[in-house]
Amino acid sequence: MSVEIRVCPPDRFADLLRVAEVGFGEDVPDDMIERVKAVSDPERFVCAMDGDRIVSTGGVFTMTLRVPGGDLPAGGVTWVTVLPSHRRRGLLRGMMRLMIDDCRSRGEPLAMLWASEGTIYQRFGYGMATVCMNLEADTRASAYTRDWPVEGAYRMIPAGEGREIVEPVYEAARLQNAGFLGRTPEWWVGQLPRADKDAKGGEARRLVVYETDRGAEAYAVYKTKASWDVRGTSSSATVDEAVGSTPAGTRAIWRYLLDLDLVRTLRVWRLPADHPVLSLVAEPRRLGTSLGDGLWLRLVDARKALEGRTYGLAVQASGRLTMDLRDEYCPWNAGRWTLEVEGGRGRVLPASEEPEIALDANDLGAIFLGGWRPSALARSGRIEELRSGGLAAADALFPTATLPWCPQEF
């Protein structure tokens, strides 16, 4: 019987998520299925069906991504798997085609994802838009470089509460950082501790808020795992999310996390490589840092995306750059384009002159949020300078004051 790639039947949505258990090697609890349903448009989930059996899965969340100077609609590609019995049949390619075309038809200029394996998605035009710094910190060597005063106080929030407190903190940080995702109330449910699951004990998640007389300035969601041996505690803590809206709030929330009682190892993922914690501690090596890929970005509509962000570090930046963009998977993007910037805003026009740089769709996805300087990708041979001064022009337009940061997987 032939395999059909199609939109998932509405009554098979839970089945689709269950099939994904096989690909990811993890169980999908019933409560997770309900949370996914709450943030999903079932019409945006696709599958391959071998007769009545679902043999591959994929979906797109309707999301908003913070880009330099604004927000853009973005499709969050997710739950992509193919059963081991049906690999090498083009099912992934067929599903990706449906999902990219769906983003385009809905007017979403961007598609994004967290990759289980980066090599899979680069062939579809995704570029590494953010680089994650991960920590496995020794908390016994976490002194700060200076003795900053803690002006406010910490408050533990009971599970099931606190969204109205932390949402303004997250929103303030989101406006400062390209890469943050917009969050609806339904998305917040999965980010914060829940009364029916995290009320007490064990590895329950905790929410702590740092507050001053100005209000909440930082928060963290974390869980601890107890471990003891003949030397005493060797317990660890894992941070799901730690966000500060002010420098003082950021310093304070990390002081709290690094000082957790009985905790010897603090594990954190998905921080930007220029996160303040690296410059706060006196012994940065003891943070146990590593770098890896973060959010992968694909420009579905390059012209609309490029006109949807601001450029340059100056308030009223101006400049001009002509690019030769190669894009076989989304051929409507391919061609020679001139980016004209006035007052920090860009306009994209078909180019009449020779291009200054040449790049692939992956490269444009990588530099779009400011995570990579064009000249850095040129040093690895990814971007080619065709005319003298082209890389300098690109470097002046695309970088941002801070590296992009996406603290949430999806």
Question: Is 410 part of the annotated catalytic residue set?
Answer: yes
Separation of alpha carbons 152 and 236, rounded Å: 26
Residue 185: exposed, middle, or buried by beta-carbon count in 10 A (0-12, 13-18, 19+)? exposed
Q: Which residues pair with 292 in a beta bridge?
A: 132
Residue 121: exposed, middle, or buried by beta-carbon count in 10 A (0-12, 13-18, 19+)? buried
Which tokens sit at 88? 């090498």
Question: Is 154 part of the annotated catalytic residue set?
Answer: no
What one-character DSSP code corresponds to residue 16?
H
Which tokens sit at 59? 């979906």
Q: Which of left, alpha, beta for 237 (phi over 0: left; psi -120 to 50: alpha)?
A: beta
Catalytic one among 13, 61, 121, 210? 121
Query: Three-class SS of residue 44?
Result: helix
Closest CA to 400 of 272, 264, 216: 272
Separation of alpha carbons 177 and 400, rounded Å: 9
Give the angle subtended at the CA of 205 by the CAs of 202 and 208, to the nearest 5°. Answer: 125
Strand 110-114 and strand 70-82: pairing? parallel
Residue entry with tokens 């710094």: 133
Q: What is the largest CA-CA distance in the chain?
A: 74
Helix ranges, 30-117 (H): 30-38, 91-105
Residue 17: exposed, middle, or buried by beta-carbon count in 10 A (0-12, 13-18, 19+)? buried
Helix ranges, 39-192 (H): 91-105, 118-122, 163-176, 185-191
Catalytic residue positions, numbered? 121, 410
